[in-house]
Structure 1
């Protein structure tokens, strides 16, 4: 319900300004259409109410309702009812009538599509019948020069107001789309790239290295004995360790390096334009930094990293083969004592740095 109310309030706020502008300047068109006709005083009072009181009253009704979205859609039907009433009260004077009804119909389509369009037409018809019941059915086919000029503000300013609202909505939707796209590529726990996003970027970096014959190194990182940490101290502390590694990665990596969570307690890094030696130095700083971590609730906890490195070389057939070399290097680091870096220094060979 809170979500529906939030969306409804946003909808009401978007409608508010166009309604104030549209009904305010629309009064001039209706006034010009009614001026040559003898109408009772209550009609003029109703016109002032509709043009300058109703927009604010409608906003209060929708924002204070339990379901603002439904309330605002009812307000839009009220606008259409008024529009049909004024069309009949002006005796269907061609230009003022088309101006008022067309602008309200445009508003209904923009706000609610085909369904609100049809309901708006029915509300306009109801307004026409109400006016005929109170004032009698009459028609006029002549539009004066004054009426033409009185309709010009409605034909220019109101579409500009609706267009501005639509533009602002499009900007917000584009921002939301960018946010959702970023979230779809981000690991929710660590804030790093997720598995799929990182592998997509790995493929792009592989192709770039292949085309330019440039340097590039990837690293696979494993938190040593992470399962034991979870089993002994609980998953909350395990999550804190994962958060710490993600923070250390963000602080220690250079601009352009791409870090992701590969899965579980494994992390991955792409280091573009980086030799194996340079990558080893970067990862060694990370290993030492992470090894200094102390959890305030469990001061006796000690953590360490095993890291596998693989540099790009022309013998790699694809990004998957590159990743396999880094994985093999990681396997060596884990099976020769952990807390160290192993590198695939040459195709088919491995070296270990303690």
Structure 2
């Protein structure tokens, strides 16, 4: 999704919890440093707003914005301005200042890398300048025990919260990566392997067979008269027939069998550890079962298949020759009247439909 829409709101949601935790416990860190300075009441009101109200307001601003991502980035810069402001307001008390500014820097790097870190740094400087204009310059290097204890929750809990958010994000990224990997190797209509990925699998199986690790058979499947189906019934019916075939393939094959859409109305299957005779029985059963299936969009339509099979042979020079043998068997099945299974090199074993 575009950053301006769904992903922007997701970004704001990821920032929301760390901001609530960080600014909430940061309140006590800053308050412990301000307490000895006889700070004006309005400063305490501003600190309460920043620590406990601003996180919720920032999220609502992002949620209601037409561009949540940009709004949230602006809110992060406001966080940095506040951070710089409080650093100068507490006269740069060393431990609270380093704690607050380090947490702000972590946010900026996590949100936008080094470029956004640089912007956040300028925002912190702006906040410091504003505070020094209001309160005047000052420096308080000493950190007492109260200030030390007030900073400990910030140093412990905030990195944990940010780490948890980063962990959840890495899990989501891994899931998205897996989804993209799956999409790149599957056909969008049938959810079977696409042409390119199936050809890669065929090459791998050929190497296994060449190494003597197994026997395997390749099947090429063609929907009979598919062009006529599209012409007479429309492409919606044609697509439904393709899905019916893919679903029947999934039901008919073993988990280790690899089915793909070779292109258009042609499908392809690799059957590992299966000689052609046994593969012929599987394909014949598929042909018969699909002949009983009807598309709900065209109940009168009878679906038939022509199937060509080729077992691995040591005389095949590469996977292309193996596939060519299956293609020749498929051509023979069509020549013999369609609606049948033919094994390469043995047209006599073609199995016609008893009703054809």
Q: TM-score, normalised by structure 1?
A: 0.95
* Deviation of 1:296 (Å): 4.1
Deviates more, 1:23-32 or 1:326-335: 23-32
CA displacement, residues 278-334 of structure 1 (integer Å, 9 cap, x when unaligned)? 101100011111222333443442321110001112222221111111011111111
Q: Which runs of 5+ in 2 are unaligned?
A: none
Q: Check the 8 A contact 1:257/1:271 in 2, yes or no.
A: yes
Distance in 2, Cα, partners of 1:8 & 1:189: 30
Distance in 1, Cα, partners of 2:213 & 2:106: 58
Q: What residue is the counterpart of 1:307 in the other structure?
A: 307
Q: What residue is the counterpart of 1:225 in the other structure?
A: 225
Q: What residue is the counterpart of 1:29 in the other structure?
A: 29
Distance in 1, Cα, partners of 2:321 & 2:2: 50
* Deviation of 1:3 (Å): 6.9
Distance in 1, Cα, partners of 2:338 & 2:25: 77
Distance in 2, Cα, partners of 1:171 & 1:2: 20
Q: Check the 8 A contact 1:258/1:269 in 2, yes or no.
A: yes
Q: Which runs of 5+ in 1 are unaligned?
A: none
* Deviation of 1:121 (Å): 1.4
Distance in 2, Cα, partners of 1:237 & 1:62: 45
Q: What residue is the counterpart of 2:316 in the other structure?
A: 316
Q: Check the 8 A contact 1:89/1:131 in 2, yes or no.
A: yes
Distance in 2, Cα, partners of 1:208 & 1:189: 30
CA displacement, residues 130-186 of structure 1 (integer Å, 9 cap, x when unaligned)? 211221111122222222222122112111111111111011001000001001101
Distance in 1, Cα, partners of 2:54 & 2:297: 61
Distance in 1, Cα, partners of 2:218 & 2:142: 79
Distance in 2, Cα, partners of 1:8 & 1:328: 54
* Deviation of 1:214 (Å): 2.1
Q: Check the 8 A contact 1:329/1:350 in 2, yes or no.
A: no
Question: How many pairs align?
Answer: 352
* Deviation of 1:106 (Å): 1.0
Distance in 2, Cα, partners of 1:11 & 1:238: 42
CA displacement, residues 181-215 of structure 1 (integer Å, 9 cap, x when unaligned)? 00110101111110011111111111122223422
Q: TM-score, normalised by structure 2?
A: 0.94
Q: What residue is the counterpart of 2:133 in the other structure?
A: 133
Q: Summarize the alignment of residues 77-226 of structure 1 with structure 2, pairs less than 5 Å apart.
A: 77-226=77-226
Partner secondary structure for residue 36 of structure 1: helix
Does 2:20 correspond to 1:40? no
Distance in 1, Cα, partners of 2:293 & 2:121: 68
Q: What residue is the counterpart of 2:8 in the other structure?
A: 8
Deviates more, 1:293-302 or 1:145-154: 293-302
